Amino acid sequence: MKAFVKHALRQLLVLLVSVSVAFAQTQAPAPRHAAATQQELDQMLAPIALYPDSLLSQIFMASTYPLEVVEAARWSRANPGLKGEEAANAVEQRDWDASVKSLTAFPQVLAMMDQQLEWTARLGDVFIAQEPQVMETVQSLRQKAYAAGNLRSTEQAYVVQQGEALAIEPATPQVVYVPYYDPRVAYGSWWWPAYPPVYWTPWPGYYAYPGYPVGFAWGAGIVVGAGFFFSSCDWRAGRAVSHPVLAAAIRSGHAGRPAARFPLARSAPPGYPQQLAEPAGGARRPSSCKRARNGSAPESAQA
């Protein structure tokens, strides 16, 4: 009888241990609003760090409005013939943030952000709460891609050194090429085995070209007007900056329209450290809200 009881207890203990292990393996991931570690920042930013600065800055801002990104992506799918400035003009009256409207010019980018919605929302939260670290990580990734021989000026985009920073801008200001690249190879050997880079498959219509780095592909250029982008990256200050008047406002004739909603009043999500300084008057603003006044150039251009 004692032997039977011992056997039964042993079986019960094994069952309890098995259940505990299974439960531990299915624990929910870290809360979305937890501060991102460097491993997570590298993982999250790897697939977009080599985009042109002006496009990258607007992706950052648009990611803070994930629901509007979903709406804009649905609109884009329903209007497959529209892209570039034509698409941005078509959504001018929509009640979306200006950064989201601008991304309708790039249907493949909107589609990606919609399909990777958890990534998009997380990116937006992290950008609001950890903007300096986000910008530093982009530069770190670019330096790694450069060291690996995978970041150079091309017919599609110029790579320019600004002090210690690497800036990327369209070779022709009115034609923007959105690169596709495999982040698993673009930066050389990946340094966080437990945090592989976020990765998605190439977009339709993208092709690799002879003489270009392995893992890179390009689609057709997207035509935008002069002054289309209303934001850029200020690498010296470690922030994204908004220009005084939106391209959307210029196109619609609303010259006095304020800049994107993002810079006006956003604070870090619950659970994040509140790293942003309180401006005079008590309203919290990200550092990226600094705009030029009276139509003058932004601070980064004046320095």
Q: Output the 3-class SS for the chain.
A: CHHHHHHHHHHHHHHHHHHHHHHHHCCCCCCCCCCCCHHHHHHHHCCCCCCCHHHHHHHHHHCCCHHHHHHHHHHHHHCCCCCHHHHHHHCCCCCCCHHHHHHCCCHHHHHHHHHCHHHHHHHHHHHHHCHHHHHHHHHHHHHHHHHCCCCCCCCCEEEEEECCEEEEEECECCEECCCEECHHHHCCCCCCCCCCCCCCCCCCCCECCCCCCCCEEECCCEECCCCCCCEEEECCCCEEEECCCCHHHHHHCCCCCCCCCCCCCCCCCCCCCCCCCCCCCCCCCCHHHCCCCCCCCCHHHHC
**Beta strand 157-162 with 222-223: parallel, antiparallel or unpaired?**
unpaired
d(CA 40, CA 42): 5
242 has which bridge partners?
231
Condensed to tens digits (0 to 9), the pLDDT of residues 170-202 reads 999 899 999 999 999 999 999 999 999 999 999
pLDDT confidence of residue 32: 59
The domain total for the chain is: 1
- Give domain status of residue 26, yes or no: no
* pLDDT tens digits for range 203-259: 999 999 888 888 899 999 999 987 788 888 888 888 888 765 444 443 443 433 333
Q: Is the pLDDT of residue 84 over 70?
A: yes
Confirm whether 2 is domain-assigned: no
In a domain, residue 33? The reply is: no
Could you tell me if residue 107 is inside a domain?
yes
The answer as to whether 192 is a domain residue is yes
157 within a domain of the structure (yes/no) = yes
Q: Which domain holds residue 69?
A: 38-271+285-295
pLDDT digits (tens, 9 = 90+) for 106-160: 999 999 999 999 999 999 999 999 999 999 999 999 999 999 999 999 999 999 9
Express each pLDDT in 139-152 by its tens digit. 999 999 999 999 99
Q: Is 166's pLDDT higher than 70? A: yes
pLDDT in tens, 20-68: 333 333 334 456 578 999 999 999 999 999 999 999 999 999 999 999 9
Q: Would you say residue 148 lies in a domain?
A: yes
Is residue 98, in this structure, part of any structural domain at all?
Answer: yes
- Regarding pTM above 0.85, the answer is no
